[in-house]
Amino acid sequence: MSFQEAPLLLTLGLLFLLGLAADLIGRHTIFPRVTLLIVAGLAVGPTGFNLLPMELVDDWFPPMTTVALSLIGFLLGPQLSLSALRAQGNTVVSITIGETSGAVIVVALALWIYGVNPVVALLLAGIGAASAPAATFDVVHESHIHNRFSNTLLAVVALDDAIGLLLFSVAMALATALVGTHSPTESLLVGVKDIGGSVLLGAALGVPMAYLSGRIRPGEPTLAEAIGFVLICGGIATWLDLSPVLAAMVMGSVVATLATHHDRPFHAIEGIEWPFMILFFILAGASAHAKALLAVGSVTAVYIVARCVGTYAGAWTGATALHADPVTRKWVGFCLFPQAGVSIGMALMASQRFPQFEAWVLPVILASTVLYELTSPVITRRALLASRAAGSAS
């Protein structure tokens, strides 16, 4: 082995050990491991001790983003299967549509009134529709509270990212029109290409994957099938300038709907996705620069407040329209504030599409993600305890 290869292997080994430390600390504190990984990335990156070579960050971050988002999208796919959508009911759909659209509208208006560039306002508004289901799942699991409120909350956060991705794609198309590189008709076609192309790609790969899932042995063959299809989906989506996470999500939905033994590939992915998430979140934190985070401090504050207001108001409206119980109407919106992997991925996609606005979009999302992930688990736990005290029906 050459000397030049040794630092790379040492760096990767240390990053994985940081992931282990984050997992262990997260089990004994209120902070989810995603937050700890981002903080670790900030510490080892140029913002902190500058221990992580920027060449590695620049070289590894884009492909690791595609891999991580493809894995996340595929794991979210079963929440969009026909059986899952039927089981979730109209109340869940109404709350999800309300909170995602509410976040987009209020964030866009607030940032525009504050004087932010309209393109940046649109991009941040589209990103604001996404939440972080992993953090919510962890809090519910830890609380051991299983009632109507917790079931509704889990269904909403599962469906949230799917609708959020669609709204983000629309925001990207509108931002393209504002930049002026396309006419309104061309911008509409770009939006149709982004959404429709991603859906078609996911469906085209999902059908053969569903056929194979029930016909190969579990274990290593299933793992090879699952990771192979996910990487192919992410690679083709990137090659065609589509959304890797939306394409992978549709692929997962098709597999969950059509495959007889559809649990196999999802369980296989769940067994290997964490190492990729470790690299993704640490590199995301390392890519942030302190000066950039401070430069957008006021914009970040407006974004956080506007998104919380829009999310809560939209969730309350959606719950009230379908006559949800009082506990759900009061508390569900508070539990939808956290953002993490999908929102960071959206910010990276927006930065790649509009590099002239990267210095605004990515720092705002990274800074707000850290704050959300530090505070939101406490709020979610408080809401769950309130639902148990109110005697929310099972």
- Tens digit of each residue's pLDDT (9 = 90 or more) over 108-158: 999 999 888 888 899 999 998 888 776 676 677 666 777 778 778 877 887
If you average pLDDT over each of 1-15, 235-249, 276-290, which comes out highest?
A: 235-249
Which residues span the domain enclosing 44?
Answer: 15-24+32-389
Least confident of 71-80, 202-211, 233-242, 265-274: 265-274
Full-model pTM: 0.73
Q: Has residue 5 been placed in a domain? A: no
323: CATH: 1.20.1530.20
- The DSSP secondary structure of 318-356, one letter per residue, reads HHHHTT--HHHHHHGGGGG----HHHHHHHHHHHHH-GG
| Mean pLDDT of all residues belonging to the chain | 78
Model confidence at 57, pLDDT cuts 50, 70, 90, reads: confident
Looking at residue 185, its pLDDT comes to 60
Average pLDDT over residues 304-314: 93
Indicate the residue type of 82: L
Q: Among candidates 211, 200, 244, which has minimal Cα distance to 71?
A: 244
Structural tokens at position 190: 């770009």
The answer to whether residue 216 is domain-embedded is yes
106 has a pLDDT exceeding 90: yes
Tell me what the mean pLDDT of segment 14-31 comes to.
79
Q: Measured between alpha carbons, how far is 391 from 375 in angstroms, rounded to an integer?
A: 25
* CA dist., res. 67 & res. 46, Å (int): 24
In 10 A of CB 50, how many CB atoms?
Answer: 12
CB of 292 closer than 8 Å to CB of 359: yes
Are 216 and 265 in contact, with CB atoms under 8 Å apart? no
Of the pLDDT bands very low, low, confident and very high (cuts 50, 70, 90), residue 84 is low
Residue 283 lies in a domain: yes
Side-chain half-sphere exposure of 87, counting CA atoms within 13 A = 13
Query: Over 50: is that where the pLDDT of 2 sits?
Result: no
Q: How high is the pLDDT of residue 219?
A: 59
The residue-averaged pLDDT of 278-283 equals 81
Residue 224 lies in a domain: yes
Q: How far, in Å, CA of 125 to CA of 120, rounded?
A: 8
On whether residue 42 sits in a domain, the answer given is yes
Tell whether 372 is covered by a domain: yes
Q: Is residue 2, in this structure, part of any structural domain at all?
A: no
Tens of pLDDT, residue by residue over 220-235, are: 667 777 888 889 999 9
Instruction: Give the pLDDT of residue 393.
Output: 45
Percent of the chain with pLDDT over 70: 81
Per the structure, how many domains does the chain have?
A: 1
CB neighbour list of residue 366: distance below 8 Å, 6 or more residues apart: 38, 284, 285, 287, 288, 293, 344, 347
What does the pLDDT average to over 274-297?
73
SS3 for 192-232, per residue?
Answer: HHHHHHHHHHHHHHHHHHHHHHCCCCCCHHHHHHHHHHHHH
Q: What is the pLDDT of residue 394?
A: 43
Position 4 in a domain: no
pLDDT at 107 over 70: yes
The 10 Å Cβ neighbour count of residue 126 is 31
